[in-house]
């Protein structure tokens, strides 16, 4: 498949164009670090993973964050990223950005490839700009976003499915779940 991917410098330009705050840029760079580490482990294990696609999708997955928060459209987070990235000429990255939203895991067959799984999972392992355990991340997500019973229950419903994805990922690679060394 021939795909158009931005350089890291172009990603930086998109951060600026879409007014991504420094904390979101730092989060995205940490997600990229974790995702590329995992993707490299897949390649080492003999599984084909597009490292550049994982890298750029990790960097750009939250490109809509400023807009969705400012406009009160948190429910469109991911969808707006997809639209922005398609408009910029990066539809493959847009597809991964769409699928990084936590609630995607509740859908039947939520992911089509390892790149989507890796970016989704890496994002769930990064709280602000720190790599944390899934347990720590879900404590944060419940505290920050589980403010009513419906939201709390929905986030809680995602947790075992994300844990299952974690098991799937680490059954295919040689790496410690702590992601030590990053």
pLDDT in tens, 14-64: 999 999 999 999 999 999 999 999 999 999 999 999 999 999 999 999 999
Instruction: Name the residue range of residue 107's domain.
Output: 8-172
Question: Is 47 contained in some domain?
Answer: yes
Share of the chain above pLDDT 70, in %: 95
Inside any domain, residue 179: no
Whole-number pLDDT of residue 78: 82
Percent of the chain surpassing pLDDT 90 = 85
Which pLDDT does position 76 carry in this prediction? 73
Question: Is the predicted pLDDT of residue 129 greater than 90, yes or no?
Answer: yes
Instruction: Reply yes or no on whether the pLDDT at 86 is more than 70.
Output: yes
For Cα atoms 17, 117, 2, give the angle at the middle one, nearest 5 degrees.
65
Number of domains observed in the structure of the chain:
1
Residue 123 in this model has a pLDDT that exceeds 90: yes
Residue range 74-84, pLDDT digits in tens: 667 888 999 99
**138 pLDDT more than 70:** yes
The DSSP secondary structure of 78-108, one letter per residue, reads THHHHHHHHHTT-HHHHHHHHTTSGGGGGSS
Q: Which stretch of DSSP H or E encloses residue 131?
A: strand 130-131
Q: 């059954």: which residue's tokens?
A: 171
CATH number of the domain that residue 86 is part of: 1.10.3210
Quick count: other Cβ atoms within 10 Å of Cβ 81? 27
Domain for residue 180, yes or no?
no
Question: Would 181 be classed as within a structural domain?
Answer: no
The pTM assigned to this predicted structure is 0.94
Residue 3 lies in a domain: no
What's the whole-number average pLDDT of the chain?
Answer: 93
Q: Is the pLDDT of residue 102 over 70?
A: yes
């Amino acid at each position: 498949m021939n795909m158009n991917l931005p350089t890291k410098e172009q990603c930086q330009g998109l951060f600026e164009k879409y007014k991504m705050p420094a904390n979101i840029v730092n989060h995205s760079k940490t997600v990229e670090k974790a995702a590329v580490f995992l993707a490299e482990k897949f390649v080492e294990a003999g599984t084909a993973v597009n490292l550049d696609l994982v890298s750029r999708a990790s960097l750009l997955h939250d490109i809509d964050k400023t807009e969705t928060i400012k406009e009160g459209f948190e429910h469109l987070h991911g969808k707006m990223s997809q639209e922005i990235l398609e408009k910029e000429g990066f539809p493959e990255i847009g597809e991964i950005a769409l699928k990084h939203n936590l609630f995607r895991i509740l859908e039947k067959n939520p992911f089509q490839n390892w790149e989507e799984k890796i970016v989704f999972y890496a994002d769930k392992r990064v709280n602000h700009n720190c790599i944390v355990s899934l347990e720590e991340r879900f404590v944060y997500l419940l505290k920050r976003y589980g403010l009513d019973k419906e939201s709390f229950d929905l986030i809680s419903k995602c947790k075992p499915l994300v844990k299952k994805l974690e098991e799937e990922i680490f059954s295919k690679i040689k790496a410690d779940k702590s992601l030590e060394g990053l």
